[in-house]
Structure 1
Amino acid sequence: MYRRSFILLLYLLITLPSVGQGAKNPIIHADVPDIAIIRVGDTYYMSSTTMHMSPGLPIMKSKDLVNWEMVGYAYDVLEEVDELNLNNGKSTYGRGSWASSLRFHKGTYYVTTFAQTTGKTHVYTTKDIEKGPWKASSFKPSLHDHTLFFDDDGRVYMIWGAGKLSMVELKEDLSGIKPGTEHVLIENATQPAGPNVGLPAEGSQLFKVNGKYYLFNIAWPKGGMRTVIVHRADNISGPYEGRVVLQDKGVAQGGLIDTPNGDWYAYLFRDFGAVGRIPYLVPVKWEAGWPVLGVDGKVPEELNLPASKGLIPNIVASDEFTRKKEDPALPLVWQWNHNPVNELWSLSQRNGHLRLTTGRVDNDFLLARNTLTQRTIGPECTGSTAIDISKMKEGDFAGLALLQQKYGLVGVKFENGAKSIVMVDAQSGTAVEEERVPLNQKKVYLKAEADFNDRRDVASFYYSLDGRRWTKIGSQLKMAYTIPHFMGYRFGLFNYATKTPGGYVDFDFFHIEDRLTGNGAAGIK
């Protein structure tokens, strides 16, 4: 008996997670790029980039720098223009709003961003970062990769640019630039990284520590990796001296954050293939007035911070599409691909279901409106859904996508009076129907798996007629992070018409799991 107890105890010690095990890099294994972080008391807030998605400019909250939860968005709609509305054959993939700057000043939260799509710099303010509301304003021009900065004397600035960095002073209410204040701050900010320039210094974030100004930038030497550059000055207007402070694993672009107990970290991201650009934390020490990043110049795998509790349900989440009166229509994990047509989706027309109704004719999945998305997560994940397709019209196509330029789909097509389950593979740049299976019932279960382990970046698609027995369909999708979309792969629920608008489908649920389920029973409700 004692021997059996000893063996059981040994087994538990081997298989159970270690008590007190700390955080590991990456902090978030999902597409959360261009992050800006502030600390207010003992609470951290983070903004990030989601470009063409709506709502946009996500705001997240943490008590420990590791476990983050969505708390809101700075805007519902950036602007109503053809590119953001997917109208007249236009889109704004890879554009929309980019890297943001997040600040807290005299009781007000500020988050600013810029957009090639609108040609503007956008400013959002609120007294309550978790509940809003946000007040929006904007001015021209669009200041690329800018950092907003409130100095101790009450003056407010923006620094922006690529390679050549410029600075302007803003009006007190941030409604625009003070005339005559624009000037070049650093002529060649890339210089510390050497002459072999690929990506010039950009991604500015400015901090003031112990009376000195520290400007963080990223550069990418040709044949090298993303590199962190810091310039330091005694005066905000310079002169600045610069040096490389980190060059490891391509982890770069971000800035500084301190903890209530006086520890310092750099928050950065890493390009990690098809899952996207994923956040890392790097310990910082101060030596001779300079931030020293990493452990012996390297990005550590483990951190002296609390362990992650996982990304589900705070970064991604399953959804049964049931709502109480006090619930928001859509949980914050969801974003529409471009601006939605709100009249064409509903959670109330059929209780416990998301209804997507077609409103026009489209012949390209990437230009179809009202695709509802959320992030994939690494190192692996599975998304599944069930759809009632009984009210589709001839020419309709509805289902589950892995969205990027080289996308994959599994769904139901209604053609020539018959419905079929199809898998579409667009890894070649052209959508190719890889397999078609006749469907003779009104409900079908669909599943997509994404395997990002060791940057394998492959996806598989499945269907089921009962939610229990699954059959793989079509080809294995080789996922690729493409610059035209500039975003990690996202799960997407879609429905669009190719002949006659007005048909609709009802999604019964969406489930996400942090594992590959294969022919297992993912998707059972």
Structure 2
Amino acid sequence: MAVLHSKDLVNWRMIGHVVKDLTNIGPEYKYDRMNRYGRGVWAGAIRFHQNKYWVYFFTPDEGLFMSTAVDPVGPWEPLHHVWAISGWDDGCPFWDDDGQGYFVATNFANNYHIHLFKLSEDGRELLHNTDTIIHQYKGSEANKLYKINGVYYFFHSEVRHEEGVDVRVVMMLRATHIYGPYEEKELIHTHGKEVDREPNQGGLVQTVDGDWYFISHQGIGGWEGRTLHLLPVTWTHGWPIIGDDTDGDGIGEMVWGGNTPINGYPVKVLASNDDFDHEVLEPYWEWNHQPRADKWSLVERPGYLRLYACQPIEKDNFFTVCNILSQRAFRTIYNEVTAKIEIGGMADGQEAGICHFAQTYCTIGVRQQNGTRILKFNHLGAIVWGPELTGNTLWLRSVWNIDGINRFEYSVDGDHFTSFGDAYQLSWGHYRGDRIGIYCCNSESEEGYMDVDRFYYEAAGSLQVKCR
């Protein structure tokens, strides 16, 4: 459950994570199962109340969880399991002027009925005897509750048949009482994923100057995942209009550019470089399922990330390799990742290198057998073998463009790189985009390790950095 921070709603940085141990959600997240692709945290909500930050989220199988923190960087309180239930998602808390807390959520397993509960005083429990259905429509989810100028606003999205196609539409209900009766309005026209990328899940934000914006993700499902929109909001007759109301019908249209809401802050690129000089991982790194704590270290060899090899749950199944460490791959006109690795600690049967993965995968790495290390390219089991490697230091590089066409390269001196393997199309997978990362495994034993000296990610707009 990643936490991001921005000063201007455009430039963001990752500052931490709410959940320290994924197995606190459930055992299927553990490295010996790795059985929660696409079924982890769904559409959580963060709110500030009583001088604390509150996060609530559902997983579709384990139910509702929450945590709080004084500082969003952390530490976050140990995860609290509010409700063990399946088939629910997209919950959001709301505290009224009198301090009473409420919680809105969708039961997607029961025809997308949206329920409103009261919260206990400490916010840690739902008062189930207050359960009230306040809305139902095909695909109704993405819930948020607001009280603006004394009026309750219930934001959600739903699937409607418009202009001959099913599209996800952003809706708002409003009432003078939290239980209604509500009147309804569409906030922005959506014409299909290929036309406007379907802005839908998100929320309203007001700046200190009083301007309103809508932050939302795209629903197109491209290889980059669900990227972020920031759209202007204007208020007309007590309703928010998202985008530009060009034809005056009271419903907005998609806009593709605008001014930064708050000036004076530098441009940031989320992709980040790492020399592994710290004793804790930077927040932009994320593990693929809960890692084996005894199989990685930042302190055994200061200045390096040491990844020990462990056996996959299933031989030759990349998605069962534990302790894969990755960042998000971004869709810009040019992306280049270079990792400098030390392979002198490898053992027979071990493989180590860099990877792309989502619903498919592709790797470039080193395989050792009978004491000999050989370069290896692997795309979904289609393998290309390269030259024998005699040194202990290797540079591996991934380069991709705005279309997500990736090429791997390698170097034995850090200066001269050689292309290796076929082109690979980055892919969408499990409600998220492609990941670029580091992996290390051994199909025969629990032997061997790899040391990562540096991992540099250069995206369009970031500084030009060489990995030497």
Shift in Å, 1:523 = 5.0
Q: Does 1:487 align with 2:432?
A: yes
Match for residue 377 of structure 1?
A: 330
Q: Determine the C-alpha separation between the residues in 1 that align with 2:187 and 2:82.
A: 34
For residue 259 of structure 1, report the CA deviation from its aligned partner.
0.7
Note if 1:261 corresponds to 2:209.
yes
Query: What's 2:272 paired with?
Result: 317
The 5-angstrom pairing of residues 104-183 of structure 1 reads: 104-117=48-61, 119-142=62-85, 143-161=88-106, 162=108, 163-183=112-132
- Whether 2:144 is the aligned partner of 1:205: answer yes
Counterpart AA for 1:144? D
The 5 Å alignment of 1:41-440 reads: 57-80=1-24, 81-88=26-33, 90-117=34-61, 119-142=62-85, 143-161=88-106, 162=108, 163-188=112-137, 190=138, 200-221=139-160, 223-248=165-190, 249=196, 250-270=198-218, 271=220, 273-295=222-244, 296=246, 297-305=252-260, 306=263, 309-312=266-269, 315-323=270-278, 328-362=279-313, 363=315, 364-379=317-332, 380-426=334-380, 431-440=381-390
Counterpart Cα distance in 2 of 1:168 and 1:141: 16
- 2:193 alignment counterpart: none
Identify if the C-alpha distance between structure 1 residues 64 and 522 changes in structure 2 by more than 3 Å, giving closer, same or farther: closer
Instruction: Using the TM superposition, give the Cα deviation of residue 227 of structure 1 relative to its aligned residue in structure 2, in angstroms.
Output: 2.1
1:212 Cα deviation (Å)?
1.2
Structure 2 equivalent of residue 524 of structure 1: 467
- Output one character per residue of 1:267-293: Cα deviation in whole Å (capped at 9) or x when no partner: 111136111111111111111111011
Aligned residues: 439
Give 1:97 deviation, angstroms: 1.4
Shift of residue 307, structure 1, vs aligned partner: 8.2
Return the offset for 1:459: 1.2
Counterpart for residue 42 of structure 1:
none
Structure-1 separation of matches of 2:441 and 2:461 = 28
C-alpha deviation, 1:436, in angstroms: 3.0
Equivalent residues of 2:22, 2:289 under 8 A apart: no
How far, CA to CA, are the matches of 1:446 and 1:348 in structure 2?
A: 23
Q: CA–CA distance in 1 between the matches of 2:318 and 2:103?
A: 39
Runs of 4+ in 1 over 6 A off after TM superposition: none
> Offset at 1:225?
3.6
SS in 1 for 2:365: strand
Residue 273 of structure 1 aligns to a residue in which SS? Answer: coil
Q: Offset of 1:417 from its aligned partner?
A: 3.7
- Counterpart in the other structure of 2:425: 478
Residue identity matched to 2:417: W
Q: Letter of the 2:42 partner, please give it.
A: W
On the 8 A contact 1:382/1:516 being kept in 2, the answer is: no
CA contact (8 A) 1:386 1:523 kept: no
CA distance in 2, matches of 1:62, 1:211: 28
Deviations 1:179-212 (A, max 9, x none): 3111211133x4xxxxxxxxx1211111111111
State TM-score, norm by structure 2: 0.88
| CA deviation map 1:159-182 (0-9, x unaligned) | 111432111112112232213111
Which letter does structure 1 place at the counterpart of 2:422?
S
Corresponding residue number in structure 1 for 2:441: 496
Please list the CA deviations of residues 425-464 of structure 1 after superposition, one character each: whole Å capped at 9, or x if unmatched.
12xxxx221443322222211011232x2xx221111111
Cα gap change, 1:446 to 1:201, in 2 (>3 Å): same
> 1:51 aligns to what?
none
Is the 1:216–1:253 Cα contact (8 Å) retained in structure 2? no
CA shift for structure 1 position 356: 0.4
Structure-1 residue corresponding to 2:396: 446
Q: Using the alignment, how far apart are the partners of 2:265 and 2:223 within structure 1?
A: 22
Partner residue, 2:249: none
**C-alpha separation between the residues in 2 aligned to 1:510 and 1:504?**
17
Q: 1:13: which partner in 2?
A: none
The amino acid of 1:206's aligned partner reads: L
Native 8 Å contact 2:204 2:214 kept in 1: yes
Of structures 1 and 2, the one scoring higher in RCO (CA 8 A, sep 6+) is: 1
- Equivalent residue number for residue 513 of structure 1: 458
Contact 1:268 1:280 in 2 (8 A): yes
Corresponding residue SS for 1:366 = helix
User: Secondary structure at the residue paired with 2:98?
Assistant: coil
Question: Structure 1 counterpart of 2:341, which letter?
Answer: I
Q: Any gaps of 5 or more consecutive residues in structure 1?
A: 1-56, 191-199
1:197 alignment partner in structure 2:
none
Give the CA deviation at 1:133: 4.1
The 3-state SS of whatever aligns with 1:228 is: strand
- Report the Cα distance in structure 2 between the residues aligned to 1:207 and 1:73, rounded to whole angstroms: 25
**d(CA) in 2 for partners of 1:149 and 1:388?**
51
1:394-449 C-alpha deviation (Å, 9 max, x unpaired): 111110011212111111111344211111112xxxx2214433222222110112
Q: Mark the runs of 5 or more structure 2 residues left unpaired by the alignment.
A: 191-195, 247-251
* Aligned residue identity for 2:391: Q
Paired AA for residue 132 in structure 1: P
TM-score (norm 1): 0.79
